[in-house]
Structure 1
Amino acid sequence: MTWWQRSVVYQIYPRSFMDSDGDGMGDLRGITAKLDYLHTLGVDVVWLCPVYPHGGVDGGYDITDYRGIAPEYGTLADWQELLAGLHTRGMKLVMDLVVNHTSDRHPWFLEARKGVGSPHRDYYLWEPGRDGGPPSNWGSHFGGSAWQLDPATGEYYLHLFAPEQPDLNWASPTVRREVYDLMRFWLDLGIDGFRMDTINMLSKAPGYPDTAPGSDYAYPLAEEHFLNGPELLTYLREMHAEVLSAYDVMTVGETPGVNPDQAAVLTDPQTGPLSMVFQFDHMALDKDTGSARPRWTTVPYSVPELKAVLGRWQTGLHGRGWNSLYLSNHDVPRMVSRYGDDGAYRVASAKLLATLLFTLQGTPYVYQGDELGVPNAKFTSIDDYRDVDTLNLYREEVTEGGRDPADILAMIHNKGRDNARTPMPWNAGPGAGFTTGTPWIPLNPTYADINAEAALADPDSVYWYYRDLIRLRRGHPAIVDGRYDDLRPTHDTLYAYLRTHAQEQLLVLLNFGGAVLDLDGVLEIPANAELLIGNYAAPGEVPSGTLQPWEARVYVTRTVEETGTPG
């Protein structure tokens, strides 16, 4: 087992974590001040979302300088203090690597657009127009065409995200050398790995062929032409050989559209260029894939569908590669609102979801605030939102499209990225303890009741349950490396599975829903099973034969030979 397979990762969105200077935006010194909070929780690795200088368009993902620190976050010295604080406490630091695109204010792009003869021209992807319009009908993830006309040269450049985020040309050896150099810069400063943003979009289909429209929109996503492209493995293997192989680091690739077989190639213990990947199959369960804007839709899905998706990845990568385990991050809604019940059973369902996250095989990721059970924010006015994708949706659907604002706000309440980006609630005081100034985005209205100070004072809080799960994972090899077996794949609400390794076997029971579940005739718990953790019953107690709403239990049976498979 590698160190990163045994680890638990905590993701920090820096502008919303902790503000040390009262300007309303989180910063590096604020994070350093809260390291003991993370150490008490028990996490091993901190993944830091971008803190580099940026163009201000996409929350730091439009980078203008890969070797600097944005002034609003502090200085390189502040960053080094943070790194030292993590390492002193036995924790590691993973930085975001955003190299599918840069900002249009990056010096490379400023030089590239000076003319077709610029030495930096081939750093980006340029094409002449076609029939008076863009080179192809590819759409941007943020709406509209993925091609932007550069009036000075009469050519279009590709941007899979905002127009201010031009895609890099990875076919250029010079671009690849530039990227490898910037990676070495941070690795030599002592970081412990990279989270690689949209890394499987580096290789585009030659000629940029049109994609089938599939909707009423003129510019649909052309994912079949830029996800897992023909040269992707070549680029990543070169990156590994040139840079990563020289360091003991963890890498996780953001790879929408991969299947378990593709992920196994990327994360093969011997030949794979990456440690693990983020896959998105479970993120698609509640989307209407036939809609023009599937990411913004919310449709019902069944527990058997969730089990099937997660199970496919558990069995598909076992012994072949490595899973990353997550239910939320800076780009998606709060997990207790999306997969749980953020009303009467907020605490119970937050604990159940955490139990799921920590008892599957893979490296678990905790997004800031999920250890408190923070729900979606659900602001009542579009003026309270900051995310470029959210504001584009509202403009296109309401301002330009004439749709009812209430309908679009309902979509944003469910799926908006700003749900995850509200300031971390540290206490019930002014500014939620996040800032003494005016926060860059409004506070989640629930902060007075749901905050870290209250959680730390409550021995039955979600926070302490997370800590107990992290300790449980460390103490049981079956969780980290055991085989996964789904015991009741078609049951409507019960998610029951085994984790088996050598002489240890764990039984996990999760009741997804607000009704009591009688286990009689559904599943028999072995007589010698010992309760390790539960969100209703305490370890060592003998629970009843029913599961309460959103109840989670984890049992251990000491030897496989003694117990066999629970019926």
Structure 2
Amino acid sequence: MSQHWWQSAVVYQIYPRSFQDSNGDGIGDLPGIISRLDYLQKLGVGAIWLSPVYQSPNADNGYDISDYQAINPEYGTMADMDRLIAEAKRRGIRVVMDLVVNHTSDEHAWFVNARADQASPTRDYYVWSDPVDGHEPNDLTSGFIGGSAWEKDEPSGQYFLHLFSAKQIDLNWQNPKLRQAIYDMMNFWIDKGIGGFRMDVIDMIGKEPFKKRLVNGTHLHDYLHEMNRQTWADRDFLTVGEAWSAGPKDALQYSNPANQELSMIFQFGHLWADRKVGGEKWETTPLSVKRLKQALYDCQRVLGQQGWNSLFWNNHDLPRAVSRFGATTGPNRELSAKMLAITLHGLKGTPYLYQGEEIGMTDCPVNKIEQVNDVEARTIYRQLRDRGESESAAMAKLNRFSRDNARTPMQWDTSANAGFSTGQPWLAVNPNYTQINVQATLAESDSIFNTYQQLIKLRRTNPVLQTGTFAAIEGVPDTVFAYTRTLADQTWLICSNFSAEPVEVRLPARSAHRLVGNYPDYPQQLGTVKLRPYEAFMVALDV
């Protein structure tokens, strides 16, 4: 397999609304991102992935697009977007756009015209149905607001489909004219010089709603192959699809170059390690490091040398990594944040780093539902209360998995609003910003930032991390990750303790030299090693 730029790069996800505000309106924007590019260059990332900045009424913070080829004025102008692409490129950073083509906003011109005129050319861009026995065509439900996923259009008497909110209307990918309109839009952005697309809920575009098959539809992979051929086929371009339904074998189907589909997908099997399998999102269990490890290792083994992995702990939809898998306070916060970095960045694939992860930002619990912005969390709260749960019990569940945890403003310094904005932020800043912020981190010689910086440089400069083969070290305790990456005569060993307690581990009896670690010393002679709380290291084994 030929080498692509994204096989040696780390991608940094930016949630534009929360990254940096440049004009004091409390909302992050494109000029704000441009002002922080030197920081991202210092970190060493090869690309930034922007959550949606297109025109949108913000029913779901931009994942409800009303115009794919316009910038939301909250974020700036198309000229700002062009400048961001150019300024990022000047620093060796590509821009990856978030692409939402499973649905549009109900305010998109396609849907406005479709609803106004049944003869409109865009009517069939969406999924419509006549009533069945005077009711909705079936019992599909909306994932964000609850209730039916079918909404009645009174003038026509037909129903239209919205699997998320009632303002996010599902597109009909069976229509070839709709597909071509999407490819034309994608080429508009590719021609502007972007480096890739992250594709929201891509496993749903082949949906067959009348068969109640919402993911992995019959023609899903046909559509992706067609998309590939119509857009980025001849470019070194990153495409990563969000696919909650996918397992490792599915990831291989998506990412095997022979299939000419995507570069990789986000799969989420490892994130069930602290959740009740088959349960609802808010039903949690104590973290099983054994399950976490098994899921990540399975991805490494199944994709092997044919496909490609995405590597991530968190994103804009998930809790903060250090709060979920590590420690939120005291010295163990930094130790566990570094441990998570080393564990993940030693694996084969493209690592994704979510804004603030590089300084160990934590979840931000709230006390009242009025403090919650997340549309999904508000719906779940209402459902929990309707089931008889107390306010405090419902809020406790929200605080574990509300998407607001990841969306609090970036913590830059100790000034008002953490240096994010001179105005009132759209979402409250985490009160711990006076201790956890970029300014403080950059002043430390052995910071979480410094660990990420080292790991990013190692991946950029060493083929062992880029394409070396993966092998798990067997017989280690359940709370320990231990594996090797090998290329030719070079072998690197990565070992980490996911526990706040010391643990003894048996590693190959070899001498080694340190590449990166989260304690100042490390075992230079391996064999039986006693790992300290949250200890992690990456070493090169001597030949």
1:528 counterpart (511, 516, 522)? 511
Q: Match of 1:19?
A: 21
Once the two structures are TM-superposed, the CA of residue 539 in structure 1 deviates from its matched residue by 7.2
**TM-score scaled to structure 2, two decimals?**
0.96
Alpha-carbon deviation of 1:280?
1.0
Q: C-alpha separation between the residues in 1 aligned to 2:337 and 2:405?
A: 16
Of all paired residues, the percent bearing the same amino acid is 45
Asked if the contact 1:124–1:157 (Cα under 8 Å) also holds between the matched residues in 2, the reply is: yes
| AA at the equivalent of 1:8 | V
1:350 aligned residue: 337
Match of 1:563 in 2: none
Question: Is the 8 Å Cα contact of residues 484 and 498 (structure 1) preserved in structure 2?
Answer: yes
Unaligned runs of 5+ in 2: none
**1:35-74 equivalent positions in 2, closer than 5 A:** 35-74=37-76
Looking at structure 2, the residues matched to 369 and 119 of structure 1 have their Cα atoms a distance apart, in angstroms, of 45
Residue 283 (structure 1) aligns with: 271
Please state how far the C-alpha of 1:380 moved relative to its aligned partner. Answer: 1.6
Q: Deviations over 1:168-205 (max 9, x none)?
A: 00000110011011001111111111111111101122
Amino acid at match of 2:325: Y
Structure 2: how far apart are the matches of 1:540 and 1:85?
Answer: 43
147, 151, 155: which one pairs with 1:148?
151
| Residue 164 (1) aligns with residue 160 (2) | no
Alignment partner, residue 555 of structure 1: 539
Contact 2:343–2:495 (8 Å) recurs in 1: no
The C-alpha deviation readout for 1:415-462, integer Å capped at 9, x for no partner, is: 010000000000111011000000000001211110010001111211
Q: Residues 488 and 495 of structure 1 are in contact (CA less than 8 Å); yes or no, is this contact kept in structure 2?
A: no
Distance 1:397 1:239 in 2: 41
Choose which of 4, 10, 20 in structure 2 pairs with 1:8.
10
Where do 5+ consecutive residues of structure 1 fail to align? Answer: 210-224, 560-567
User: Per-residue CA shift, 1:372-417, capped at 9, x if unaligned?
Assistant: 101100112211111110111122322x444211111111111010
Q: Which amino acid aligns with 2:98?
A: D
Name the CA distance, whole Å, in 2 between partners of 1:122 and 1:489.
57
SS at match of 1:488: coil
Q: Cα offset for 1:284?
A: 2.1
The CA deviation at 1:117 is 2.8
Partner of residue 218, structure 1: none
Aligned letter for 1:44? G
Q: After the TM superposition, which residues 361-400 of structure 1 pair with which residues of structure 2 at under 5 Å, given as runs?
A: 361-398=348-385, 400=386
Number of residue pairs aligned between Structure 1 and Structure 2: 538
Partner of 2:225: 237
Shift of 1:285: 2.2
Residue 296 of structure 1 pairs with residue 296 of structure 2? no
Measure the CA separation in 2 of the matches of 1:14 and 1:537: 36
Is 2:532 the counterpart of 1:545?
A: no
- 1:341 Cα deviation after fit: 1.7
Say whether residues 1:264 and 2:252 are aligned partners: yes
RMSD over aligned Cα atoms: 1.6
What residue in structure 2 maps to residue 216 of structure 1? none
Aligned residue number for residue 106 of structure 1: 108
Partners of 2:4 and 2:236 within 8 A in 1:
no
What TM-score do you get using the length of structure 1 for normalisation?
Answer: 0.92
CA distance in structure 1 between the partners assigned to 2:154 and 2:194 by the alignment: 41
2:498 maps to which of 501, 504, 512 = 512
Distance 1:410 1:278 in 2: 28
Shift of 1:525: 4.6
Q: Which amino acid in structure 2 is aligned with residue 426 of structure 1? A: W
Q: Tell me how far apart the structure 1 counterparts of residues 262 and 433 of structure 2 sit (CA, whole Å).
A: 38
Cα shift readout 1:300-336 (whole Å, capped 9, x = no counterpart): 2422211111111001001110000001000010011
Q: CA deviation at 1:228?
A: 1.1
- Partner residue of 1:493? 479
Name 2:120's counterpart in structure 1: 118
**Greater shift in the superposed pair: 338-347 or 485-494:** 485-494
**Alpha-carbon deviations, 1:58-78, whole Å to 9, x = none?**
010000000010000001111
Query: Do the aligned partners of residues 541 and 433 (structure 1) sit closer, same or farther apart at CA in structure 2, a change above 3 Å counting?
Result: farther
**Of residues 171, 176, 187 in structure 2, which corresponds to 1:173?**
176
Could you tell me how far apart the structure 1 residues matched to 2:104 and 2:455 are? 39
